[in-house]
Amino acid sequence: MPIAPPRTLVLLLLLTAVTGCVDAVSFLRLEHVFTANMTGNVVLLGFALGGVDDLSVVGSLLSLAGFLLGAYAGGRIVRRGGGAGRTVTTCLTVQTAIVCALAVVLAVSDPERHEAVRLIVTFLLAGAMAVQTSAARYVGVAGITTVVATTTLHGLLHDTGVRGRPAIPPLVPVGIVVALTGGAAAGTAAIQLSTWVGLALAGAVLAALTLASARGAFPLPPSTPAPAAPPAPARAPGAPGTAR
């Protein structure tokens, strides 16, 4: 299976770090929900429905709804095509714009006192993280989604047991864990200053990655499919240009 060029793996690892940072903000300072890790968010929804204090049913549902909307938007971006590098850059641009705008919203408001602000930010932040997931899926490196580590860790040893060797280099799962943990730690430290600082940190990293992607810094792996060209419309018999 083709492996992404090293610079593209760096892109995916840094996006994974962004996930940790954003989830630190959403879980610790917004509605105690995840806005990137939907598996964890669904479990939290179950806990909230079971009556656990400090967990929000509405927040979890809004996070899920935002993620689904973002996944739809990300799919539209991918289907529009425009070149592999342009597709990834467009996804990153949309995500960066949303995250930076939400950082400004949190900077000029008090999310701890206004639940409506927390809910709106949760919804939109989940949508932004879904667009990031669309970009990662388009890059198409096996086992790397940038929002969870489970698939990557499982694939390392599962594929070794089945095929005798891992499908991805062993250092990649280690890098995913380190990136996710490091991003969460950085986000946790940032929100000690203020909630908006955590999102500003994520937005700064995303802005740098977007600029680098626009300049072609992240070549895609050979396995990344090019968007299929639409079929040419059939011509009626006898129409101009039809062979006779």
pLDDT tens for residues 204-228? Answer: 999 999 999 999 888 776 545 545 5
Q: Determine the pLDDT at residue 242.
A: 46
State the pLDDT confidence band at 185, using cuts at 50, 70 and 90: very high
| Lowest-pLDDT choice from 80-84, 133-137, 183-187 | 80-84
Determine, yes or no, domain membership for 150: yes
- The CATH number of whichever domain residue 19 belongs to comes to 1.20.1250
Determine, yes or no, domain membership for 224: no
Instruction: Please provide the average confidence, as pLDDT, over all residues in the chain.
Output: 85
Structure tokens that stand for 7 in this block: 């610079």
Residue of higher predicted confidence among 203 and 156: 203
Can you give the residue range of the structural domain that contains 20? 6-214
Determine, yes or no, domain membership for 220: no
State the pLDDT confidence band at 4, using cuts at 50, 70 and 90: low
Determine, yes or no, domain membership for 153: yes
Q: Tell me the chain's radius of gyration from C-alpha atoms.
A: 20
Determine, yes or no, domain membership for 233: no
Determine, yes or no, domain membership for 225: no
Find the angle CA(10)-CA(70)-CA(184) to the nearest 5 degrees. 45
| Lowest-pLDDT choice from 77-91, 114-128, 188-202 | 77-91
Rounded-to-integer distance, Cα 203 and Cα 135, Å: 16
Determine, yes or no, domain membership for 239: no
State the pLDDT confidence band at 183, using cuts at 50, 70 and 90: very high
Determine, yes or no, domain membership for 222: no
Number of domain units in the chain: 1
Q: What is the pLDDT of residues 54-106, one digit of tens each?
A: 899 999 999 999 999 999 999 999 888 766 678 899 999 999 999 999 999 99
3-state secondary structure 95-130: HHHHHHHHHHHHHHCCCCCCHHHHHHHHHHHHHHHH
